[in-house]
Amino acid sequence: MQRSVSILVSLSVICLLMAACGGNEPTPTPVPAAATATAVPTIAAEPTEAPAETPAEAPAASSEVTSTESVTSSTEMSSTEEMSGTEEATATTEMTSTEEAGSTEEVTATTATTSTEEATPTEEATATAEMTSTMEMTSTEEATPTEEVTTSTEMTSTGEVTATSETTTTSSSESAPETAAASNTPIKVLTDRQVTDVINENYPYFTTLSPDGSAIVYTTQDRKDRSLCIYTFASADVVCTTPPEEFEDYPYALQWSPDSKLIAFTENPLTLGNESDIWVFDVAAGTFTDITDDGVNGYYRGETGFALDYLPMWNKADGMIYFWRSVPDNATLTTTRVLMKIDSAGGEPVEVRDLSKETGQALVMFDSEDYYLDGVSDLNPQGNKIAVLVTDPADPYNSPLNGLWLVDLTSADSTPQQLLTIEQFQSASAPFQTMPAMPVGLSWTGDGKGVVAAAFSNDTHSPLLIFYYIDVESGKVTPIVDFSQVPDYETLYTQVDEAGLPMRYYAPWTAVLSPNRDKLLMYNDLGGVPGMLQASLPPDGSKPVAVYKGEYSSTGLGTRASSSSDGKVLIYGELLTVEE
């Protein structure tokens, strides 16, 4: 009996020891720390602004996906990305280069990005850890040219993706202008504030800096009065003015005059079907003027005897407002496409060029929610050329008229030139994308020698915003980043380059030209790692370089971005001051 008790006691002790030591359970495999990368300086927010804490889990927002048969529907990029795959992620954690996870299959990075995307948990955690390591910034280190890698990628015999300088449309291996390398000297971000804190407005729309940086204009679509608001930096005051009742819409395409005194805008004839005129708001006087009033307001379908005037553009050379005029033909369901101009004080509009025959009998298509770069049409700084993106609503993916067009305004007899076809807009897209890259915006460089054009592939799993640089004189087209050699979705997210970033990070949520207009600033917030990349213009054969890690997880606030001559940049809800 005593022996039996002794045996039982011994067994109990052994069991307790095994339990304490973990028994035969396998030791969890830690996620490897990301490789150390050259860091970029962290810029603190202004002392008067308390830095916002980054939440452990970013609030999800719905993502709209455009239909394959619709070109007028919004291609909004929301502020989250779906992550799924062969296994479900079960834990949300913020990844840094020093953190380890307990299981390689139960780790994901906190996400605050803009469209739904799928990835296996292990791949996403690894990629985000790499990005965090790369984007970590100290006060004593800056990005150096050694972080730059080449524009495109190629498959090696081992199946790995390596960087090359060859692009689909043109070769970046050709000697780049000497000024290109100089223009990509990393900018310095001096301050970073969320624009909602600056203007004290939770839901501002179409926030746009004035050219001189003295003010911000935005609209308040959450209010019944649909006010146009001006925030002035010098006084920190906000003045909101309600448009007259004849304006039956929300102010759209807010365009500052070159002297920052007037704002041109219009109704939206596409999404809401409202008759549109060119309106001018005088900032100092607080007055609205309809300078192309034809007596028709509100819903125009079925109406006759009116013209749709929309997409105002300021000519920096002479101060005139250029705009597009379309006269609908109810019998043929077509419209004219005529470029007009008018004095900002009003008067009789003057026809500049009728492009209906060359570029199609339809409205100049634009997305009412997503506004990229300077919109779908803009004048060069010299005021003698206009670039416009054309999309045929009847055949948005295949029409030979679709693409980027250039019109010389110095001669009425000049033939419009198609700089980029819809096929060429696909040349730098990833081969596994299910949605074509549709042109969505453009900007002229400061010297007027080049146009930056953006195309968005709204693929549910991997939305890509792709940029091209077009040399106007030669017609040469060069992708800013070439995704055409990325073989699959997994590589897009998990394989990092020499800078420690996955290729996916080079497809930003939005972008803007720098205050000097010789660099493309690309803002991203992928895997909870907000930051900004910089590409030289014209491209110099290297990938964009990381120049700043954001202070805040971005609020988004749409794709509209702008910069001002005094060094301000307003992008994805962040108000930065920069030094070039």
Residue 114 to residue 126: CA distance in whole angstroms: 20
pLDDT at res. 207: 93
Cβ atoms of 151 and 172 within 8 Å: the answer is: yes
Chain centre distance of CA 463: 11
Residue 514 to residue 580: CA distance in whole angstroms: 8
Q: Which of 564, 561, 507 is nearest to 535 (CA)?
A: 507
Contacts for 12 with CB less than 8 Å, ≥ 6 apart: none
Contacts for 451 with CB less than 8 Å, ≥ 6 apart: 387, 404, 406, 419, 442, 443, 444, 445, 469, 470, 472
Secondary structure of 442-493 in the HEC alphabet? EEECCCCCEEEEEEEECCCCCCEEEEEEEECCCCCEEECCCCCCCCCHHHHH
Distances (CA, A) of 163 to 150, 417, 424, 482, 542: 6, 33, 22, 10, 9
pLDDT at res. 305: 74
Cβ atoms of 548 and 508 within 8 Å: the answer is: no
pLDDT tens digit string along 480-527?
999 999 999 999 999 999 989 999 999 999 999 999 999 999 999 887
Residue 294's identity, in one-letter code, is D
Q: Any idea where the domains of the chain sit in the sequence?
A: 30-46+78-184+375-580
Residue 75 to residue 66: CA distance in whole angstroms: 6
pLDDT at res. 332: 67
In eight-state DSSP terms, residue 415 is: P
Contacts for 178 with CB less than 8 Å, ≥ 6 apart: none
Cβ atoms of 380 and 448 within 8 Å: the answer is: yes
Strand partners, 536: 519
pLDDT at res. 357: 84
Residue 298 to residue 220: CA distance in whole angstroms: 20
Residue 262 to residue 344: CA distance in whole angstroms: 8
pLDDT at res. 544: 95
pLDDT at res. 285: 97
| Strands of the sheet with 278-282, listed across from one edge | 252-256, 262-266, 278-282, 287-290
- Is 267 in a helix, a strand, or coil? coil
Give the chain's residues under pLDDT 50.
Answer: 1-130, 133, 136-182
pLDDT tens digit string along 275-310?
899 999 999 999 999 999 988 888 877 777 789 999
Cβ atoms of 418 and 405 within 8 Å: the answer is: yes
65 burial via Cβ count (<10 Å: 0-12, 13-18, 19+): middle
Distances (CA, A) of 343 to 251, 321, 339, 549: 20, 6, 14, 43
Q: Which helix (H) or strand (E) holds 362?
A: none
